[in-house]
Structures are given as structure tokens and as C-alpha cells.
């Protein structure tokens, strides 16, 4: 970590150097080049060089859409990421125990890949490195923002860093501190919350057969089950598993020893990848939909999970946040070049207006998918059977579904 002497005033302060906060800061300095004012990024946790996992960069893997790749190319992050991601050539969608499957392929979409899987720790190492080496960024970690207070024409932030308290001012605070944000509460920004009564259990699994770059999404009576392709490790075929279970099953599954757990998971997923041989450390995440009722205020903008936390069923959380970053960076950089204060509501409102329909579409799509596929009510079973069947029978429908699911529709506009 480079030595930082904190300024008393920054144009932009990013609260949270997780996936979203870090990517935003890197994207903004890339877009503005020499015109970029000094940015302060404050991250509460120790960085990955100091420990194995950090809150945003934990044992999970993230499926990035082809559209997200395009955004990451613009930020300069992709040139490092490219070397370590696993491409998804096909997505296989099925409904356990019922007729109806569909296969989306990169060939049919005329793309190099439908998407890419990256292990969060790998993404974290790249982002941390870029944060630390950028001259226009002061990266403070571990340091915690204790309070954000609006003042006339700026925001005041209290920072706890190395047993000391600091007070600084910012023209714009980018709040990217994740789904459980005390700062949001402190500022009196309410959240719409819907608890799905489900948990996602994640782990890396080694398998008898190679994945052949296919991502599997299987809808079971207990909840969706995804297997994302990963690079081999010590010659073992590997996938990142996301298994959604009901609340009441979570404790039991987390406590199971390896052998009965593998049998349980194999029963849910089936044998498309052969026998499940070994499972790594597992972690569980309670699943909610939460949406901040205010996304902007003068001198304040919410990004990532603090703005919208989604169910991981369609793998859209980070992909949506990347599109937000792209639009926000565009609005801010145009404003900064015209000497407009980055906290000015006209710039921030432009961002909200541009992203409004994307948010509505992705949040609605994800929530409907959870409702449709987590229920055994007869109308829902028929609907999803018809849905998968029509995707299989009508290539044009499959193409437009794939465009939405892989996040291309918005990026091409
Ligand atoms: C099981 C699961 C699977 C998922 N899979 C996918 C997928 O395949 N594709 C996809 O697009 N999305 C996926 N997502 C969603 C994705 O993980 C989130 O969109 C992403 O993590 C949001 O990042 P964030 O930076 O907003 O929040 P976080 O990851 O929560 O990061 C917030 C950061 O802020 C820091 N912080 C908090 N408070 C303070 C403070 N007061 N001061 C300073 N720092 C602070 C924290 O330490 C942390 O580093 C998945 C989510 C889950 C749960």
C-alpha cells in the first residue's frame, strides 16, 4: 500500500472499494485521463494481499455477460482480466424432472462467447492492483467511513483510519458500500426489501467430466442450481456451484459432511457433468431483493448493491452495476470537462434517467424468474414448461432472450 497523506477536500470520494466502487474509480480515471481530479477510495476491509478473502472478493465466482466485457474493455480492466476468465460458449437451461430444456450458444449469437466466469478473488487482485497503482487515486484500506453529512455545496465525511479520525469534504460521494449500508440508513434513505426466504450456497466442485465451457442453470423444486465453468485446477475439472435452497434447509446443508452433501447435490443437479468428486469450502448468502428508494441526492449517488441487490438466479447484479458505471462515468466526465461540479443534480439526474428503464427491466426479469421457477403451483409449472419449449422451438425468440440475458441489448444501443 502506497503512503497516502489525506487531503482535506476531494472532488470525488468513493465509499467501498469492492467490485463496484473499485471498478467505478478505475473507469472514471480512464475516461478523464489528465482531466481527472484526485479521487479517494475508502475500503473498510483489508486488501487481498493482506488476507485470503475480502468482503466483495470472497469465494464466489461471477458470470460476466458479453456486454460487460465490452464495458470492461473501455476501462482497461479487461486486458488483465482476459488472461484469467473462463469463456462460456453455451448455456444449458433445464427444469428438473420435467420436459423442457433449451441451449443458448455463442455460435447462434455470432459472438466469441456468451459470457465469462471470473473468480471474485482474481477480479479483486486485479482491481486492488489498479487502485494502488493509479496516480489519480488515493486508496485507503483498511479505513472506514463512519458518517456522511450533507453541508452547503459539499458532503462531509468522517473516516476512521489507523486509530485516528479524519474529517474531509467531497463535492460528490459515490456510495458503493454494499447491500447492508448503515450510511444509507444514517442518511435516512429507505430501502424496498423483499426477503425470498432462500439462501445461495456456493462452493467450487470438482467433477468427473469436463464442462466443455457450458454453463448449466437447472431449476429444481427447491430452487435454481447453477454450475459455472472454471479453469481446471491440478488437472481436476472444476465448476463454481450456486445452489439455492429454502431457509429451513440451509443449516442442515451447511453442516453436512462431504459425502452425504455430494449425494444431496448430485440428486439436485443430475449427472450431466458426471460424478461430483469433491467440494471446496462452502459459504451461504441470504437472498433478498432490495432497492434504495432514492438513488441520488445533491452530492451523492448510490452504486451497486446499495442501490439494488438482486437474487443471483440470472447473474445480473454485477452486470447491471457495470452498465450503471458506464453511464455514470459518461455523465460525470462530460460534466467535469465542462467545469460542472460532479455533485450537481443535473448530471446525476441524467444518469438516473438514462438507467431507469434498464433497472426496471432487469429487476422485473430477475424477480419474475425467481417467482416462476421457485414454485410448484400448476400454472407456474405450465408457464415455465411452455417458456423453455418455445425458446427451443423458435430460434428468433431464443435469440432475443439470449440478448437480454447476456446483457447485450442495452450495451449495443
Ligand atoms: C451467490 C451470489 C452469486 C452472484 N453471482 C453473480 C453473477 O454471476 N453475475 C453478476 O453479475 N452478479 C452476481 N452476483 C451479484 C454481485 O456479487 C454483486 O452485484 C456485487 O458483489 C456488488 O458489489 P458491491 O461492490 O456493490 O458490494 P459489495 O460486494 O458488498 O462491496 C461493498 C464494499 O464496501 C465496503 N464497505 C462497506 N461499508 C463501508 C464503509 N463504511 N467504509 C468503507 N468501506 C465500506 C465493504 O468492505 C465491501 O468491500 C452474485 C451475488 C451472490 C450473492
The pLDDT value recorded for residue 3 is 67
Angle, CA 98 vertex, CA 93 and CA 102 arms, to 5°: 25
Question: Do residues 31 and 329 touch, judged by C-beta distance below 8 A?
Answer: yes
The pLDDT value recorded for residue 61 is 95
Is 317 close to ligand 1, i.e. is its CB under 6 Å away?
yes
State the DSSP code for 133.
H
* Number of C-beta neighbours around residue 337 at 10 A: 11
Is 55 close to ligand 1, i.e. is its CB under 6 Å away?
yes
- Greatest C-alpha distance within the chain: 64
State the burial class of residue 251 (Cβ atoms within 10 Å of its Cβ: 0-12, 13-18, 19+): exposed
User: In order along the chain (413 residues), what is the average pLDDT of each group of 10 residues?
Assistant: 80 98 98 94 86 79 93 96 95 74 84 93 95 95 97 96 95 97 96 94 96 91 89 90 94 96 95 95 95 97 97 90 98 96 98 96 86 63 54 58 56 48
Task: Report d(CA 334, CA 336) in Å as an integer.
Answer: 6
Q: Using CA positions, which residue lies closest to atom 30 of ligand 1?
A: 178
Domains and CATH numbers, the chain: 9-86+116-193+289-376 (3.50.50.60), 196-287 (3.30.9.10)
Name 263's Cβ contacts closer than 8 Å, sequence gap at least 6.
Answer: none
CA 235–ligand 1 middle distance (angstroms): 30
The pLDDT value recorded for residue 183 is 97
The pLDDT value recorded for residue 6 is 86
Is 224 close to ligand 1, i.e. is its CB under 6 Å away?
no
306 Cα nearest atom in ligand 1: 26
The pLDDT value recorded for residue 377 is 59
Is 81 close to ligand 1, i.e. is its CB under 6 Å away?
no
CA 408–ligand 1 middle distance (angstroms): 22
Is 410 close to ligand 1, i.e. is its CB under 6 Å away?
no
Antiparallel, parallel or unpaired: β 308-309 and 283-292? antiparallel
The pLDDT value recorded for residue 95 is 76
The pLDDT value recorded for residue 286 is 96
Helix axes 395-405, 378-393, angle to 10 degrees: 110
Adjacent-strand bridge partners of 155: 150, 170
* Number of C-beta neighbours around residue 87 at 10 A: 17
Angle, CA 45 vertex, CA 44 and CA 50 arms, to 5°: 145
Q: Using CA positions, which residue lies closest to atom 50 of ligand 1?
A: 312
Name 192's Cβ contacts closer than 8 Å, sequence gap at least 6.
Answer: 289, 290, 291, 293
Q: Using CA positions, which residue lies closest to atom 35 of ligand 1?
A: 16
* Number of C-beta neighbours around residue 97 at 10 A: 9
Amino acid at each position: 500500500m502506497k503512503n497516502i497523506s489525506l487531503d482535506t477536500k476531494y472532488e470525488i470520494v468513493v465509499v467501498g472499494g469492492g467490485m463496484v466502487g473499485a471498478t467505478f474509480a478505475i473507469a472514471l480515471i480512464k475516461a478523464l485521463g489528465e482531466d481527472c481530479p484526485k479521487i479517494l477510495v475508502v475500503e473498510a476491509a483489508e486488501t487481498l494481499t493482506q488476507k485470503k478473502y475480502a468482503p466483495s472478493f470472497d469465494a464466489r465466482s461471477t458470470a460476466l455477460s458479453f456486454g460487460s466485457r465490452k464495458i470492461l474493455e473501455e476501462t482497461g480492466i479487461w486486458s488483465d482480466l482476459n488472461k484469467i476468465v473462463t469463456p462460456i460458449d453455451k448455456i444449458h437451461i433445464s427444469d428438473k424432472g420435467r420436459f423442457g430444456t433449451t441451449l443458448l450458444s455463442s455460435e447462434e449469437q455470432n459472438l466469441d462467447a456468451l459470457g465469462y466466469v471470473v473468480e471474485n478473488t482474481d477480479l479483486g487482485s486485479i482491481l486492488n492492483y489498479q487502485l494502488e497503482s493509479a496516480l489519480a487515486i488515493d486508496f485507503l484500506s483498511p479505513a472506514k467511513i463512519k458518517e456522511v453529512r450533507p453541508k452547503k455545496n459539499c458532503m462531509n465525511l468522517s473516516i476512521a483510519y489507523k486509530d485516528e479520525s479524519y474529517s474531509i469534504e467531497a463535492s460528490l460521494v459515490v456510495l458503493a458500500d454494499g447491500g447492508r449500508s448503515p450510511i444509507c440508513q444514517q442518511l435516512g434513505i429507505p430501502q424496498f426489501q423483499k426477503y425470498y426466504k432462500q439462501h445461495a450456497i456456493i462452493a467450487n466442485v470438482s467433477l468427473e467430466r469436463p464442462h466443455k465451457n457450458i454453463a448449466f442453470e437447472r431449476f429444481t423444486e427447491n430452487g435454481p442450481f447453477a454450475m459455472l465453468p472454471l479453469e481446471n485446477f491440478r488437472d481436476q475439472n472444476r465448476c463454481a456451484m450456486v445452489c439455492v435452497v429454502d431457509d429451513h434447509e440451509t443449516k442442515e446443508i451447511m453442516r453436512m459432511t462431504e459425502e452425504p452433501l455430494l449425494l444431496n447435490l448430485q440428486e439436485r443437479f443430475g449427472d450431466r457433468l458426471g460424478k461430483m468428486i469433491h467440494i471446496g469450502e462452502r459459504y451461504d448468502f441470504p437472498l433478498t431483493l432490495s432497492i434504495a428508494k432514492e438513488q441520488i441526492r445533491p452530492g451523492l449517488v448510490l452504486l451497486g448493491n446499495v442501490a439494488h441487490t438482486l437474487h443471483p438466479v440470472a447473474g445480473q447484479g454485477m452486470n447491471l452495476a457495470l452498465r450503471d458505471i458506464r453511464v455514470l462515468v459518461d455523465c460525470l466526465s462530460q460534466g467535469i470537462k465542462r467545469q460542472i461540479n460532479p455533485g450537481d443534480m443535473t448530471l446525476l439526474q441524467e444518469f438516473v434517467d438514462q438507467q431507469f428503464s434498464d433497472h426496471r427491466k432487469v429487476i422485473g426479469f430477475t424477480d419474475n424468474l425467481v417467482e416462476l421457477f421457485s414454485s410448484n403451483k400448476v400454472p407456474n409449472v405450465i408457464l415455465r414448461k411452455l417458456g423453455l419449449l418455445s425458446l427451443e422451438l423458435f430460434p428468433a425468440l431464443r435469440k432475443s432472450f439470449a440478448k437480454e440475458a447476456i446483457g447485450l441489448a442495452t450495451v449495443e444501443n
